[in-house]
Amino acid sequence: MSETMTNKLNDLCKKDIKTASNEELYHALLKLVDEKSQQQVHSVTGRKLYYISAEFLIGKLLSNNLINLGLYDDVKEALAAAGKSLADIEEQEPEPSLGNGGLGRLAACFLDSLATLNLPGDGVGLRYHCGLFHQNFKNNIQNETPDFWLTDSCAAQATDTVFPVSLAGKEYSARLYKLPVTGYEGRTNTLNLFDLDTVDESVIGDGISFDKKDIAKNLTLFLYPDDSDEDGRLLRIYQQYFMVSAGAQLVLEECAARGCNYHNLADYAAIQINDTHPSMVIPELIRLLMLHDIDFEEAVQIVTDTCAYTNHTILAEALEKWPRHYLDTVVPQLMPIIEKLDALAKSRTEDGSLAIIDQNQVVHMAHMDIHFSHSTNGVATLHTQILKESELAGFYHLYPEKFNNKTNGITFRRWLLKCNPSLTNEIESLIGNGFKKDASELKKLLAYTNDQNVLRKLSEIKKQNKEALAAWLLHKQGIKVNTDAMFTIQSKRLHEYKRQQLNLLFLIHQYLEIKAGHIPSVPLVSIFGAKAAPAYIIAKDIIHGLLTLSQVIENDPEVSKWMQLVFVENYNVSAAEMMIPACDLSEQISLASKEASGTGNMKFMLNGALTLGTMDGANVEISEAVGNDNIYIFGQSSKQVIHRYAAGDYCAKDWYEADPNLRRAIDFLTSEKMLSFGDEEHLKRLQNELIWKDWFQTLPDFNAYVVRKQQAMADYAADQENWSCRTLINIAQAGFFSSDRTIEEYDNDIWHLGK
């Protein structure tokens, strides 16, 4: 087999691969992937899904595509025989910068599962030139630079398809780019990305600054342009409308080509609205259908039958609402339709809080989605329950039949096969390879919980993965870590509700305990990966606190042999693939009720980490799957939290004063030691925030967190075999969290896709 592959690669390189450069090999492999993926493009019959999303955090594609197309082993072997390494070649590939965090990664996992399950489902989004910023640290502070990831080797191909889009009364052309999405032993679907030919990267000035008014040049430069001023907020609306208008035209064109007469659009298309960024697709489709001589009432019905909405958050500040004059400026053509939809919504209910346009002339995007789509889903059982009972209770009362839950999932191709080949091989040797397409087969691993050889093997694999991460950290950031230590990892976007500050307070506490002569049961390496939104001041202060503490520890040999704090720069999918397989303890410590689902939690579980977490999001379902002995749960329940918010009587200062350990840790933020490496303004602001505000109730959970984490450390130190057994149970029970299961549920309950 590998000989045929060698010949094939020689052909594609037009030379002997022994003498080819990594760049030449990279381009040859792209061609190989392209040829093979084209062979599994199928025509569509029946309903096809369009998954519209502002983000697709797809990660590097080459290895994943080779795995999905069944080429990986042959390619690896052929390259090895020629003295080449696939890992080195992969270095040539920039990671696509088309997403930000969980929501975008979910969209990427869903595309993989759709193609794997042989379902017709394409993505629709924007082709950002720089996407999310690149993060680096200077003086313990996050610094943002543009991520110029779009090189000529980028796999998204320009097409001749352009759609006219009118922004603030001026016409622009949206060009379609296509990126093939390969399924594992499945079909090839497409990620459709739109862009404007006139966008100009040279308008970017210092850092990631640019003139926000010049739409023709800046429209698709960045994902989530800074919206702390009005021009930034307007730019977001320009982007959103550009995406949905071009997307809606694509849907109509493709369906018409398959014989749709628009009256029966819902038989040809299902549109999933991923959070509120694409909400304007609803009025836009109605507008376009009316241009095809369909009257308003019928158009509303067609669009309602076609569209479905996924809610990703209950954080009030994240539910998009725009002053109506913004929409008057950017999309005057939509306002008459949004007004009619608002009037229709008001005719259905007397509850003013469910209006699309409220008394203050603010337009609520989520409200439009719920009134005028046929399905609203939350992303974990607890989240959906909170939507029904509190956050969206009024809507649930009006439309109980629309509400449903779809617990998130992750694709095991990337988050096991690709990122953890040793564990994949071990699983395969025990239970065969059926789990790659049917994740529930992982349960067969439960037969090995008493098998010492298997448990020892799992520990060895974990150790190897820790060594690989250590080598990577040394190479990337010049940091040496102790691989005999226990690795705990908290990697996710930086946000106060995710509570990296709680972990910071624990680490300060641990530092002070060691200084006081209380040696921990095991050395700890605490690893973070997180980007903060550029305008989110407290989030950046938390990063500063962590980086400063890291230096305090590093410069104290008495402590540094017991604990290390490592902050990975520029957390992205590639970093996640290195970090997650090396983790012993997964930190999922959001304030209960605030994390809609989380998907990081699932990736860590699948890769043999135990979870230290609150009863929040999908942690609840993880704890039910593995049982209380195989997870470390702590902290307030979501009911208690919701209660405390309703009562409005939380006072952080009382907690600060009542607990001497907590007070000592918070006071340390502005201690002489911290100030010798850190900046007083940042540290003082963080300290004040914790004492005087602490909106996400870090302080009430501090003590329980310390106790539970120290318990996990003691358990880890006491009995490696038992720890390993518990990681095996976590892996075995991870099958439910495959995005294949999630997509099957969406298809059965919402989409009913064709072939």
Ligand X SMILES: *Cc1c(COP(=O)(O)O)cnc(C)c1O
Shortest approach of ligand X to residue 503 CB, angstroms? 13
The count of residues interacting with ligand X (CB under 6 A) is 13
Shortest approach of ligand X to residue 619 CB, angstroms? 10
Instruction: Please tell me which residue in 324, 498, 544, 709 is annotated as part of the active site.
Output: 498
Out of 183, 598, 613, 635, name the contact with ligand X by CB under 6 A. 598
Whole-number CA gyration radius for the chain: 26
Residues within window 72-111 making contact with ligand X, judged by CB under 6 A: 101-102, 105
Whole-angstrom distance, CA of residue 180 vs CA of residue 163: 20
Shortest approach of ligand X to residue 596 CB, angstroms? 9
Instruction: Please tell me which residue in 424, 599, 614, 742 is annotated as part of the active site.
Output: 599
Tokens in use for 585? Answer: 């303890």
What does the DSSP assignment read for 388-418? IIIITHHHHHH-GGGEEE----B-HIIIIII
Catalytic residue at 287?
A: no
Decide whether 419 or 431 has the Cβ nearer to ligand X.
Answer: 419
Position closest to ligand X via CB: 600
Residues within window 376-435 making contact with ligand X, judged by CB under 6 A: none
Place of tokens 């992750």: 410
Site string for ligand X, 562-591 (x = CB under 6 A): ---------xxx--x---------------
Shortest approach of ligand X to residue 488 CB, angstroms? 14
Residues within window 513-572 making contact with ligand X, judged by CB under 6 A: 571-572
51: Cβ contacts below 8 Å, ≥ 6 apart: 107, 110, 111, 114, 121, 122, 123, 124, 272, 274
Catalytic residue at 19?
A: no
* DSSP SS3 for 371: helix
Catalytic residue at 708?
A: no
Shortest approach of ligand X to residue 594 CB, angstroms? 11
Shortest approach of ligand X to residue 266 CB, angstroms? 32
| 461 φ, ψ (degrees, to nearest 5) | -60, -45
Catalytic residue at 159?
A: no
Decide whether 186 or 598 has the Cβ nearer to ligand X.
Answer: 598
Site string for ligand X, 712-731 (x = CB under 6 A): --------------------
Shortest approach of ligand X to residue 298 CB, angstroms? 40
Q: Which residues of 464-476 are buried (b: 16+ CB within 10 A; e: fewer)?
A: ebbeebbebbeee
Decide whether 105 or 364 has the Cβ nearer to ligand X.
Answer: 105
Q: Does 600 bind ligand X (CB under 6 A)?
A: yes
The secondary element (H helix, E strand) that includes residue 158 is strand 157-167
Catalytic residue at 367?
A: no
Place of tokens 């190479």: 475
Whole-angstrom distance, CA of residue 498 vs CA of residue 748: 32
What does the DSSP assignment read for 190-229? EEEEEE-TT--GGG--STT---TT-HHHHTTTBSS---SS
Out of 599, 619, 698, 724, name the contact with ligand X by CB under 6 A. 599
Decide whether 598 or 735 has the Cβ nearer to ligand X.
Answer: 598
The secondary element (H helix, E strand) that includes residue 541 is helix 537-554
Would you state the torsion angle of the CA atoms of residues 50, 55, 61, 66, taken in this order, to the nearest 10 degrees? -30
Shortest approach of ligand X to residue 27 CB, angstroms? 26
Q: What residue spans of 555-651 are helical by DSSP H?
A: 557-560, 573-579, 600-606, 619-626, 638-647
Q: Measured between alpha carbons, how far apart are the two ends of the chain, in Å?
A: 32
Give the count of beta carbons closer than 10 Å to the beta carbon of residue 139. Answer: 11
Instruction: Please tell me which residue in 312, 402, 544, 682 is annotated as part of the active site.
Output: 312
Contact 376, 309 (CB under 8 A): yes
Decide whether 388 or 498 has the Cβ nearer to ligand X.
Answer: 498
User: Which span sits near ligand X by CB under 6 A: 419-427, 440-448, 479-487, 595-603?
Assistant: 595-603
Decide whether 137 or 296 has the Cβ nearer to ligand X.
Answer: 137
Catalytic residue at 498?
A: yes
- For ligand X, the binding residues (CB under 6 A) are 101-102, 105, 492-493, 571-573, 576, 598-600, 603
> Catalytic site residues?
312, 492-493, 498, 599, 603
